[in-house]
């Protein structure tokens, strides 16, 4: 009997884990504290769990705390989800005192479950001093990965390592466009510009036609910019 109970419990936990949505190192459009990082956001049946870590950058001293007035907001609407609880972080005015430079404090903030259709959220600490905030946090692992790919590709492009940048730009525009973003249109633009610089007319024409066939909302703007390049 006990064996059956254990098996059922394992299956239940596995199903619960599979039903949770987990976003790893989600990117925010804007944030207040560069030393504060969102490590993971997990949306379960009843809660939204945000795991963060803060790194002490001071040569001496340093402290951190979290106000009790913290909330999640739907970036595109007015829905607000207030903080339910926190783990491993003192509530201001109590403080965590850092002992050394580069010491990392990991903590968790717990909120009600957000609506299933929300793609962008804001995380806001509503206080009077050194309050932290994240705006436009992207809840889409695929899109976050494409942003990172685009950033790597663009760094290679601007440092004139254009051949190495090509496969990264191609990965950005591969597959479906899940979120409206300039990175897709810019990837087409830079790919075409690279092949123009390499005097590869065949590839230039190929990617121009792919851009025209795409579902990009800003493709008209990109095509006009390419005309300015003589394409």
Q: Determine the 3-state secondary structure of 203 from DSSP.
A: helix
Structural domain range at position 163:
142-228
Residues 31 and 93 in one domain: yes
Separation of alpha carbons 152 and 156, rounded Å: 6
With respect to residue 10, please indicate whether it lies within any of the assigned structural domains: no
Shared domain check, 195 and 124: no
Please give the Cα distance from 91 to 109 (Å, whole number): 11
CATH number at residue 36: 2.60.40
DSSP class of residue 132 equals: -
My answer on whether 42 and 121 are in the same domain is: yes
How many domains, in total, are found in the chain? 2
Q: Classify burial at 141, counting beta carbons within 10 Å of its beta carbon; exposed 0-12, middle 13-18, buried 19 or more.
A: middle
φ, ψ of residue 126 in degrees (nearest 5): -95, 95
Question: Which residue, of 139, 154, 178, is where some domain finishes?
Answer: 139
Q: Is residue 124 part of a domain?
A: yes
Q: Indicate if 153 and 77 belong to the same structural domain.
A: no
Is the same domain home to 131 and 149?
Answer: no
**Reported pTM:** 0.84
User: pLDDT tens for residues 144-189?
Assistant: 999 999 999 999 999 999 999 999 999 999 987 778 779 999 999 9
115 SS3 class? coil
pLDDT digits (tens, 9 = 90+) for 5-52: 444 444 444 444 446 899 999 999 999 999 999 999 999 999 999 999
Residue 110 structure tokens:
């717990």
Q: What distances in angstroms separate CA 43 from CA 112, 184, 219, one per listed residue? A: 9, 28, 34
Of 139, 157, 173, the residue that ends a domain is: 139
Query: pLDDT at position 19, please?
Result: 60
Residues 99 and 69 in one domain: yes
Placement of tokens 């909120």 in the chain? 111
């Amino acid at each position: 009997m006990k064996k059956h109970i254990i098996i059922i419990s394992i299956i239940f936990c596995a199903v619960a884990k599979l039903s949770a949505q987990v976003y790893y190192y989600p990117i925010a459009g804007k944030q207040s504290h560069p030393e504060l990082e969102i490590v993971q956001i997990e949306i379960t049946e009843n809660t939204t769990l945000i795991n963060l870590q803060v790194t002490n950058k001071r040569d001496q001293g340093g402290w951190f705390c979290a106000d009790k007035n913290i909330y999640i907001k739907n970036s595109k609407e007015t829905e607000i989800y207030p903080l339910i609880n926190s783990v491993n972080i003192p509530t201001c005015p109590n403080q965590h005192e850092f002992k050394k430079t580069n010491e990392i404090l990991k903590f968790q903030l717990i909120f009600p479950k957000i609506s299933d259709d929300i793609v962008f959220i804001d995380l806001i600490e509503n206080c009077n001093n050194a309050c932290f905030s994240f705006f436009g946090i992207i809840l889409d692992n695929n899109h976050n990965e494409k942003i990172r790919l685009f950033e790597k590709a663009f760094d290679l492009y601007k440092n004139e390592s254009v051949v190495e940048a090509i496969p990264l730009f191609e990965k950005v525009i591969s597959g479906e466009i899940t979120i409206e973003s300039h990175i897709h249109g810019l990837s087409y633009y830079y790919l075409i510009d690279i092949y123009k610089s390499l005097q590869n007319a065949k590839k230039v024409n190929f990617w121009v036609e792919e851009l025209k066939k795409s579902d990009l909302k800003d493709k008209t703007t990109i095509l006009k910019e390419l005309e300015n390049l003589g394409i």
